[in-house]
């Protein structure tokens, strides 16, 4: 029987990489962990039951999108997103801050009031405050909530990033108050600071003073190089509390992930497995495969002979090439499921390699394979 109390159990660590377990009331999340992105309450083109078959232990829901559609009133009637989408394992929700920055044509940040934005759907104006973001996430009934932060676009202007840290810290304090106390749910703070070591340290120090259940690295995967991202992690994660989970938001390729694990990260999310699946790009142990390529037209081999989920190992690359080039919906379904399964197999191999002391070799083999 799983404990209903939220806590992080560090099982093994060497250098900066770690093996652990996040205990939640809806089940254990083995770390390092990858969270498929369920933006609108669905992992695109994949049945919920099939996501379970991949060994996925936690998914991500998007506060911004769920707030706009289907709307909080409907989710509240169902008792939250778990029942609405028929997913009984843990859910982490982001705060909506990144989408406000990336999707809205109109955004105005007010330190005291919050973020004013226009819906990317119909242009309707909204205000998202730190308190409102927490309220929405509570009605979604997520297990891990994120504070609202200002996520600036990639810039080398330290004044812009310093201002974002100031606002984000203020919002983090208000988010913590709005969250209140809970033994079964968690609230994570989000470290900003761009690629500047001193600003990252400043942001992290302020968040540690507030005392969160976990700490996320935000403001990365916004256009910087992989080397810049990994150096930022190396410069920051060693200062993070060792007894709490560390989450890198919005990352990434398998190579990004293995590099981030080496630098102390425990949790990841990214739309890449399903977004790539919809365009015919598959992730395999040999690397990335573009199934639109005509060289696969007569290829009888499957993407992965060992993957028996929904008989995926019985579909040839030739058939998948045909499906993707004729815009058949089944192409998205099969390749996306394959990709999510591959990502979870990849995470499982990472965990096994840390456990057996072979992670360094696994890292060297995969750090550049998927770039």
Per-residue pLDDT of 11-44, as tens digits, reads 999 999 999 999 999 999 999 999 999 989 999 9
Position of tokens 């004013």?
Answer: 116
Give the 3-state secondary structure of residue 281: strand
Measured distance CA(101)–CA(111) in Å, rounded: 15
Catalytic residue selected from 50, 94, 143, 304: 94
Pair of tokens at residue 20:
């652990």
Pair of tokens at residue 18:
């770690």
In which band, very low, low, confident or very high, does the pLDDT at 154 lie, cut at 50, 70 and 90? confident
For residue 101, pLDDT beyond 80: no
Judge whether 144 and 90 are in contact, CB under 8 Å. yes
Q: What is the pLDDT of residue 1?
A: 42
pLDDT digits (tens, 9 = 90+) for 124-152: 999 999 999 999 999 999 999 999 999 88
pLDDT digits (tens, 9 = 90+) for 231-251: 999 999 999 999 999 999 999
Question: Global pTM?
Answer: 0.97
Judge whether 45 and 339 are in contact, CB under 8 Å. no
Give the 3-state secondary structure of residue 109: strand
How confident is the model over 262-283, as a mean pLDDT?
A: 98
pLDDT digits (tens, 9 = 90+) for 309-353: 999 999 999 999 999 999 999 999 999 999 999 999 999 999 999
pLDDT digits (tens, 9 = 90+) for 165-210: 999 999 999 999 999 999 999 999 999 999 999 999 999 999 999 9
How confident is the model over 58-64, as a mean pLDDT?
A: 96
Active-site residue, 213 included: no
pLDDT digits (tens, 9 = 90+) for 68-78: 999 999 999 99
Q: What is the pLDDT of residue 242?
A: 98
Q: Say if residue 240 is exposed, middle or buried (CB neighbours under 10 Å; 0-12, 13-18, 19+).
A: buried
Judge whether 132 and 186 are in contact, CB under 8 Å. no
Judge whether 218 and 229 are in contact, CB under 8 Å. no
CATH topology assigned to domain 33-270 = TIM Barrel (3.20.20)
Q: What is the pLDDT of residue 3?
A: 64
Tell me which DSSP letter residue 295 carries: G
Delimit the domains of the chain by residue range: 33-270, 283-371
What contacts 101, CB < 8 A, 6 or more positions away? 107, 150, 151, 152, 153
Measured distance CA(298)–CA(368) in Å, rounded: 29
State CA 170 to chain mean position distance.
24
For residue 99, pLDDT beyond 80: yes
Active-site residue, 269 included: yes
Catalytic residue selected from 143, 256, 266, 269: 269
Measured distance CA(197)–CA(195) in Å, rounded: 6
In which band, very low, low, confident or very high, does the pLDDT at 153 lie, cut at 50, 70 and 90? confident
Position of tokens 């499906």?
Answer: 323
In which band, very low, low, confident or very high, does the pLDDT at 122 lie, cut at 50, 70 and 90? very high
């Amino acid at each position: 029987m799983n404990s209903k109390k939220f806590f992080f159990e560090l099982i093994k660590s060497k250098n900066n990489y770690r093996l652990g377990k996040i205990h939640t009331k809806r089940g254990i999340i083995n770390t390092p962990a990858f969270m498929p992105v369920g933006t609108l309450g669905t992992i695109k083109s994949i049945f919920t039951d099939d996501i379970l078959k991949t060994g996925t232990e936690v998914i991500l829901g998007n506060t911004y999108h769920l707030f706009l559609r289907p709307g909080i009133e409907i989710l509240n009637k169902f008792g939250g997103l778990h029942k609405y989408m028929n997913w009984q394992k843990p859910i982490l929700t982001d705060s909506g801050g990144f989408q406000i920055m990336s999707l809205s044509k109109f955004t105005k940040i007010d330190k005291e009031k919050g973020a004013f934005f226009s819906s990317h759907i119909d242009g309707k104006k909204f205000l998202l405050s730190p308190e409102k973001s927490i309220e929405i996430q509570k009605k979604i009934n997520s297990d891990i909530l994120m504070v609202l932060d200002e996520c600036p676009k990639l810039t080398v202007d330290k004044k812009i990033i310093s201002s974002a840290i100031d606002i984000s810290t203020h919002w983090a304090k208000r988010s913590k108050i709005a969250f209140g106390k809970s033994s079964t749910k968690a609230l994570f703070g989000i470290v900003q600071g761009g690629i500047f070591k001193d600003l990252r340290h400043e942001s992290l120090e302020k968040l540690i003073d507030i005392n969160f259940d976990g700490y996320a690295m935000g403001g990365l995967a916004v256009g910087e190089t992989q080397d810049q991202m990994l150096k930022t992690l190396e410069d920051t994660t060693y200062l993070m509390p060792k007894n709490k989970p560390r989450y890198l938001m919005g990352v990434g390729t398998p190579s990004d992930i293995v590099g981030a694990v080496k630098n102390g990260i425990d949790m990841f999310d990214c739309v890449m497995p399903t977004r790539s699946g919809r365009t015919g790009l598959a992730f395999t142990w040999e690397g990335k495969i573009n199934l639109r390529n005509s060289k696969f037209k007569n290829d009888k081999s499957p993407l992965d002979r060992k993957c028996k989920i929904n008989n995926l190992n019985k579909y040839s690359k030739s058939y998948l090439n045909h499906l993707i080039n004729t815009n058949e919906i089944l192409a998205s379904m099969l390749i996306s499921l394959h990709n999510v399964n591959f990502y979870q197999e990849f995470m499982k191999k990472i965990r096994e390699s840390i456990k057996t002391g072979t992670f360094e070799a696994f890292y060297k083999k995969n750090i550049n394979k998927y770039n």
